[in-house]
């Protein structure tokens, strides 16, 4: 009976050490999903130490030692597999052997076997349910129970003389089996709790990061300026709970939120950290302990630590994001990785908004180019037509000049993005009137437009390039009379505008793309989405049909 208490006492000491172990860096390998070779070596030393400690804490019982050596060996096997278990068992066994006594040999063998039994459980569990059940106290209890029972048998088999072995086992079997099994179970349960805590902290931080990511999404689409930056810092400071957050460009603080906002906001960048982070594209960290953050603006600034992460888009440093904590608070390691994560998230968003900017700039300049391209030839032809008719029909010449003027006025005004169908048709109508004067009976234009659709909106300069193609590449290239048909109709949940000519002479050019139609298509898709846009249907020598689809109502 006394032996049981003594063993329980031993076990308690053991548990305290186990608890300390779970708080130490040596426990870190066990918080992950898998254990590397290097980590296994650390575990080997840790568990061997436990096992040997079990021997030392043991009570001498008739030339043998009642002990808790088994816990280290079995758990090493259970957590790390048969190799680790065997190695720990063998080492601890060797140590036990060195202490002597009539059970020295049997105990050293049995400890190795106990480590291997833990290893067998590991293999079985990994195959059944994976790493989760390794930290199940019941299984640890069962494994240690079996291992200890086996040890008793081994002592009976190997220890000489048998009579002494028998009388020893009678005394130690129950207390040792119980103490070791319960000890192993408790040990595992302490480790499991610690592991869960680490997981939870990780989960809380992941959730924080996700929340920030979600809330900040799209803000930078409106550009990188003090307005968007101040929205970002507010969100980040609120969600992460750090002392203060700041976003800077390469020259000044764009926005600042939290402690010290009174003397940081809008200041030019003067701290070495920010300037170095920008010039060296590196993270700078003043942890407040080894290296205190010194505020460049105020000597009474309560901020004591800072993490500066550069924001990099497409190889250019655009600015930094800075996380601060006051002097009274430690800068959490997790907040550090959170800060770096946020910076890469924002960098990603900056890159995307930059790309969008360039894309729309490209579209705008392409549009300008198309507008510029059309004009000289058209203007030239029109002037020649006017010169040709001005003597015999001055009124008609004047009318043509009015249309020409209208056409260019519309061209000039087309900076803003949207036009109604009525405006587009007005533009096109001037164009067609002039072209009809040039081609006379070789060009017939028919329109069939549902008057209800006249207010439908589309990107400016949508119809004109297509009509122009129909004339330049269609009607102008055929012998017979050319007919252009412009039709606008409602079709289920969309609006279709069709421009058809009876030439069928530019099928191949259409396939090759270009002709300014890609641009029209791109602008419609940018505005309304990919399901809308321009499509072409061409029958060689018969007709070319260009179809523009827009959403019902012309608005999203």
Partner 1 sequence: MIRTLIIDDEPNARRELEKLLNKTGRFNIVGQCGNAVEGVKAINKERPDVIFLDIQMPVIGGFEMLSMIDREIMPQVVFVTAYDEFAIRAFEEKTLDYLLKPVRLERLEMTLEKLQQQIQTEVHPEYETERLTRIPCVKGGNIKLIAPEAVEYAFTDQSGAHLMVDGEVFNTDLTLKALEERSELIRCHRKCLVNIHKVDQIIPGESGTADIKTVSGFTVPVSRRHLKDLKRLVGI
Three-class secondary structure of residue 420 per DSSP: strand
Question: What DSSP string runs through 457-501?
Answer: EEETTSHHHHHHHIIIIIGGG-SS-EEEEEEEEEETTEEEEEEEE
CB count in 10 Å sphere of residue 135: 21
388 binds partner 1 (CB under 8 A): yes
Comparing CB distances to partner 1, the nearer of 197 and 387 is: 387
Comparing CB distances to partner 1, the nearer of 96 and 438 is: 438
User: ∠ CA 387-393-395 to the nearest 5 degrees?
Assistant: 100
Comparing CB distances to partner 1, the nearer of 110 and 382 is: 382
Comparing CB distances to partner 1, the nearer of 42 and 476 is: 476
Comparing CB distances to partner 1, the nearer of 306 and 437 is: 437
Q: What does each C-alpha distance from 556 to 415, 464, 523, 552 come to in angstroms? A: 21, 23, 14, 8
User: ∠ CA 406-412-418 to the nearest 5 degrees?
Assistant: 95
Strand partners, 497: 488, 548
- Cβ-based burial of 163 (10 A; exposed 0-12, middle 13-18, buried ≥19): exposed
User: ∠ CA 487-409-362 to the nearest 5 degrees?
Assistant: 80
**Stretch touching partner 1 by CB under 8 A, among 16-24, 69-77, 98-106, 386-394:** 386-394
Helix (H) or strand (E) holding 319: strand 316-326
Which letter, b or e, does each residue of 438-475 get, where b requires 16 or more Cβ atoms within 10 Å of its Cβ? bbeeebebeeebeeebeebbbbbbbbbbbbbbbbbbbb
DSSP state of 252: B
261 binds partner 1 (CB under 8 A): no
**Stretch touching partner 1 by CB under 8 A, among 126-134, 215-223, 344-352, 380-388:** 380-388
274 binds partner 1 (CB under 8 A): no
398 binds partner 1 (CB under 8 A): no
Comparing CB distances to partner 1, the nearer of 451 and 480 is: 480
Candidate residues 129, 384, 447, 518; the one interacting with partner 1 per rule CB under 8 A:
384
96: its two tokens: 């036990």
Candidate residues 381, 420, 498, 549; the one interacting with partner 1 per rule CB under 8 A:
381
- Cβ-based burial of 505 (10 A; exposed 0-12, middle 13-18, buried ≥19): buried
Query: How near is the Cβ of 475 to partner 1 at its closest, in Å?
Result: 8
Instruction: Give, as ranges, the residues between 423 and 452 that touch partner 1 (CB under 8 A).
Output: 437-442
What does the alpha-carbon distance between residue 295 and residue 279 come to, in Å, rounded to a whole number?
20
395 binds partner 1 (CB under 8 A): no
- Cβ-based burial of 372 (10 A; exposed 0-12, middle 13-18, buried ≥19): exposed
483 binds partner 1 (CB under 8 A): no
With contact defined as beta carbons under 8 Å apart, do 235 and 255 qualify?
Answer: no
Comparing CB distances to partner 1, the nearer of 231 and 473 is: 473
392 binds partner 1 (CB under 8 A): yes
What does the alpha-carbon distance between residue 314 and residue 360 come to, in Å, rounded to a whole number?
18
**Stretch touching partner 1 by CB under 8 A, among 228-236, 253-261, 458-466, 472-480:** 472-480
Query: How near is the Cβ of 401 to partner 1 at its closest, in Å?
Result: 14
52 binds partner 1 (CB under 8 A): no
Comparing CB distances to partner 1, the nearer of 330 and 388 is: 388
With contact defined as beta carbons under 8 Å apart, do 229 and 245 qualify?
Answer: no
387 binds partner 1 (CB under 8 A): yes
Candidate residues 5, 56, 162, 380; the one interacting with partner 1 per rule CB under 8 A:
380
Instruction: Give, as ranges, the residues between 510 and 539 that touch partner 1 (CB under 8 A).
Output: none
Query: How near is the Cβ of 485 to partner 1 at its closest, in Å?
Result: 19
Comparing CB distances to partner 1, the nearer of 397 and 488 is: 397
377 binds partner 1 (CB under 8 A): yes
Comparing CB distances to partner 1, the nearer of 415 and 479 is: 479
538: its two tokens: 């061409």
Helix (H) or strand (E) holding 256: strand 253-258
Candidate residues 15, 35, 476, 510; the one interacting with partner 1 per rule CB under 8 A:
476
Query: How near is the Cβ of 393 to partner 1 at its closest, in Å?
Result: 10
Comparing CB distances to partner 1, the nearer of 8 and 478 is: 478
**Stretch touching partner 1 by CB under 8 A, among 6-14, 163-171, 450-458, 476-484:** 476-484
Query: How near is the Cβ of 434 to partner 1 at its closest, in Å?
Result: 11
Distance between the two ends of the chain, CA-based, in angstroms? 84
**Stretch touching partner 1 by CB under 8 A, among 225-233, 319-327, 379-387, 457-465:** 379-387
Comparing CB distances to partner 1, the nearer of 122 and 438 is: 438
Phi then psi for residue 312, to 5 deg, are -120, 120
Query: How near is the Cβ of 428 to partner 1 at its closest, in Å?
Result: 21
Candidate residues 272, 477, 518, 535; the one interacting with partner 1 per rule CB under 8 A:
477
Q: What is the rounded radius of gyration, in angstroms, for the C-alpha atoms of the chain? A: 41
Comparing CB distances to partner 1, the nearer of 255 and 400 is: 400
136 binds partner 1 (CB under 8 A): no
Helix (H) or strand (E) holding 305: strand 303-313
Report how far Cα 230 is from the mean position of its chain's Cα atoms. 22
Which residues contact partner 1 (rule: CB under 8 A)? Answer: 377, 380-381, 383-385, 387-389, 391-392, 437-442, 476-480
């Amino acid at each position: 009976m006394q032996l049981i208490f003594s063993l329980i006492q031993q076990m308690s000491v053991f548990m305290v050490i186990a608890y300390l172990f779970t708080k130490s860096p040596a426990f870190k390998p066990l918080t992950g999903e898998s254990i590397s070779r290097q980590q296994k070596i650390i575990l080997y030393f840790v568990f061997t130490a436990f096992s040997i400690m079990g021997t030392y804490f043991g009570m001498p019982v008739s030339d043998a030692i009642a002990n808790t050596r088994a816990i280290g060996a079995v758990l090493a096997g259970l957590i790390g597999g048969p190799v680790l278990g065997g190695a720990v068992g063998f080492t601890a066994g060797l140590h036990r052997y060195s202490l002597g006594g009539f059970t020295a040999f049997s105990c050293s063998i049995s400890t190795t076997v106990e480590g291997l039994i833990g290893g067998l459980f590991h293999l079985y569990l990994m195959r059944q349910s994976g790493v989760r059940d390794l930290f199940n106290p019941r299984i640890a209890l069962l494994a240690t129970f079996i291992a200890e029972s086996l040890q008793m048998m081994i002592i009976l088999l190997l220890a000489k003389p048998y009579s002494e072995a028998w009388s020893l086992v009678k005394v130690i079997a129950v207390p040792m089996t119980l103490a070791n099994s319960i000890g192993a179970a408790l040990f595992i349960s302490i480790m499991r709790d610690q592991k869960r805590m680490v997981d939870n902290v990780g989960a809380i931080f992941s959730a924080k990061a996700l929340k920030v990511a979600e809330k900040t999404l799209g803000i930078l689409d409106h550009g990188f300026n003090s307005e968007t930056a101040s929205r970002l810092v507010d969100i980040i400071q609120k969600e992460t709970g750090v002392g203060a957050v700041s976003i800077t460009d390469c020259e000044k603080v764009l926005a600042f939120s939290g402690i010290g906002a009174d003397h940081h906001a809008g200041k030019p960048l003067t701290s070495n950290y920010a300037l170095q982070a920008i010039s060296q594209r590196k993270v700078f960290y003043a942890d407040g302990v080894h290296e205190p953050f010194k505020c460049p603006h105020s000597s009474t600034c309560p901020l004591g630590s800072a993490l500066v992460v550069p924001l990099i888009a497409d190889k250019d440093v655009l600015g930094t994001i800075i996380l601060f904590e006051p002097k009274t608070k430690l800068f959490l390691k997790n907040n550090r990785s959170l800060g770096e994560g946020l910076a890469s998230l924002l960098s990603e968003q900056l890159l995307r908004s930059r790309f969008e900017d360039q894309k729309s700039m490209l579209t705008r300049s392409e549009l300008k180019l198309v507008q510029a391209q059309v004009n000289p030839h058209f203007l030239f032809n029109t002037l020649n037509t006017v010169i040709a008719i001005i003597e015999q029909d001055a009124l008609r010449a004047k009318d043509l000049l009015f249309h020409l003027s209208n056409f260019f006025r519309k061209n000039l005004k087309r900076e803003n993005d949207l036009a109604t169908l009525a405006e587009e048709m007005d533009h096109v109508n001037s164009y067609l009137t002039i072209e009809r004067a040039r081609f006379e009976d070789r060009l017939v234009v028919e329109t069939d437009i549902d008057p209800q659709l006249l207010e439908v909106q589309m990107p400016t300069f949508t119809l004109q390039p297509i009509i122009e193609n129909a004339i330049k590449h269609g009607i102008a290239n055929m012998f017979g009379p050319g007919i252009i048909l412009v039709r606008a109709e409602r079709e289920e949940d969309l609006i279709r505008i069709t421009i058809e000519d009876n030439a069928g002479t530019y099928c191949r050019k259409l396939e090759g793309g270009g002709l300014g139609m890609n641009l029209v298509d791109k602008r419609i898709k940018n505005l309304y989405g990919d399901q809308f846009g321009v499509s072409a249907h061409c029958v060689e020598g018969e007709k070319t049909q260009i179809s523009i689809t827009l959403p019902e109502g012309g608005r999203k």
